[in-house]
Amino acid sequence: MPGDRRARTRSFLLSSSHTLACLMRVTLTQVDVQVVPFGSGEQDDRWDLFSGPDLYYEVYDPDGACLYTSAVVDDVGPRDLPVTLDAEVVLQEAGWHVLRLLDADLIEDEVVGCVDFAPDRIRDGRPASTPARAVRLSDGDLTLQLQLEWTEDRS
């Protein structure tokens, strides 16, 4: 349950060799789907029989636990891009997280693509006064932009 994870106020230490370590909380605040592999339009390339993919994503922490499942945006077509998927995910662990973009289907959801990102590495070398950062990630023909926000953890 995302609520349970959020309720836990465990924080982690972000450090790099040349800056002072400080306690920061990383939040994934937005996911934009910028490019989707729609295929050539042939029937077996299409995500759904008569429509575009129904997009949503899941975020996994470095241990493989699912932190968050977004709402579904139905029937996404090339003209709808970029599509913004909701997010308010606190990332408590350092290390590689996985974001899976999926197409919701009645029988079995299909994976559109997977990207991984490590919040602690993205921030390394950035000045402490940069609280937000957009990160562009690709998997084949899929391109996503993640908005990450760093705030001081006062808990």
Name the residue nearer to Ca ion (CB basis): 48 or 86: 48
Minimum distance, C-beta of residue 49 to Ca ion, in the bound complex (Å): 9
Site string for Ca ion, 20-39 (x = CB under 5 A): --------------------
Start-to-end Cα distance in the chain: 21
CB of 73 to Ca ion, least distance (A): 11
Based on the shown chain and the rule CB under 5 A, indicate whether residue 54 belongs to the binding site for Ca ion: yes
The alpha carbon dihedral of 117, 69, 12, 149 has a sign of: positive
Residue ranges in 84-113 that form contacts with Ca ion under rule CB under 5 A: 103, 105
120 scored as a contact of Ca ion (CB under 5 A): no
Residue 6: enclosing H or E segment and its boundaries? helix 2-7
Where is 26: in which H helix or E strand?
strand 19-35
Cα(84)–Cα(155) distance, integer angstroms: 30
- Quick one: 24 or 55, whose CB is closer to Ca ion? 55
State the number of binding residues for Ca ion (CB under 5 A). Answer: 4
| 61, 64, 68, 69: CA torsion to nearest 10 | 140
Residue placing its CB nearer to Ca ion in the complex, 54 or 120: 54
- By beta-carbon proximity to Ca ion, the closer residue of 52 and 119 is 52
> Is residue 48 a contact point for Ca ion (CB under 5 A)?
yes
Cβ distance to Ca ion smaller for residue 54 or 153? 54
The residue at minimum Cβ distance from Ca ion is: 54
CA distances 115 to 3, 4, 68, 135, 146, Å, are 24, 24, 15, 11, 10
Residue 137 backbone dihedrals phi, psi, to 5 degrees: -130, 145
Task: Write out the residues near Ca ion by the rule CB under 5 A.
Answer: 48, 54, 103, 105
